[in-house]
Amino acid sequence: MDFNITGTMIWYYYICPRQVWLMSHGLEPDQDDENIRIGRLIGKIAYEREKKEVDITTGKFDILRTEKGRLVVGEIKKSSRFVESASKQLLFYLLQLKEMGIEAKGELLIPEERKKIEINLGEKEEREIREAMANIEKIALENFPPLPQKNKYCKNCAYAEFCWA
């Protein structure tokens, strides 16, 4: 199997390994899911003056700008409920940029809550993201997805039909 680990896979890894397997095998979540639609809308209307949707091979930066001569990558999220997985996704993007020779800082932006959380890639964070990437590769190479396990995110999951139908 040949695939690239993406920021979305990192996000899913910290929520549910089954989602990682499904995505790595080309099974996308329900794009008409209300939470996905709301997230897209918030990303579209929030921070209108910022440069948005900058595409790199491993994902899309929601916002890209410079501040005092330093590159800032922003990730917009609907709520702080997913702050851990969103932070890891942003760290992954910062690691990708670092590997291209570009130093940057990250900002996790939650417009509905008026929150801005600064994210920086240090040695500890880099090790953790590299470990997550190795685990994602292992999950993706399995012949079958991990068994579904209920967690606090299942209720609003766009992959719910794959697990509980």
Q: Containing H/E element for 5?
A: none
| pLDDT for res 38 | 53
| pLDDT for res 16 | 92
| pLDDT for res 88 | 97
Please tell me whether residue 54 adopts helix, strand or coil conformation.
Answer: strand
pTM confidence score: 0.82
Contact between 11 and 86 under an 8 Å Cβ cutoff? The reply is: yes
User: What strand order describes the sheet that includes 104-110?
Assistant: 51-56, 59-67, 70-76, 104-110, 115-119
**Sequence-ordered list of residues with C-beta below 8 angstroms from that of 57, at least 6 positions apart, any chain:** 4
- Rounded CA gap, 75 and 88, in Å? 11
Please tell me whether residue 116 adopts helix, strand or coil conformation.
Answer: strand
Q: Which residues of the chain are modeled with pLDDT < 70?
A: 1-2, 29-58
**Sequence-ordered list of residues with C-beta below 8 angstroms from that of 153, at least 6 positions apart, any chain:** 15, 16, 82
| pLDDT for res 53 | 54
Domain with residues 7-164, CATH architecture? Alpha-Beta Complex (3.90)
- Rounded CA gap, 27 and 4, in Å? 15
Give me 59's structure tokens: 């994902």
Beta bridge partners, 75, equal 108
Please report where in the chains the tokens 């390994």 appear, as a residue: 17
Beta bridge partners, 66, equal 71
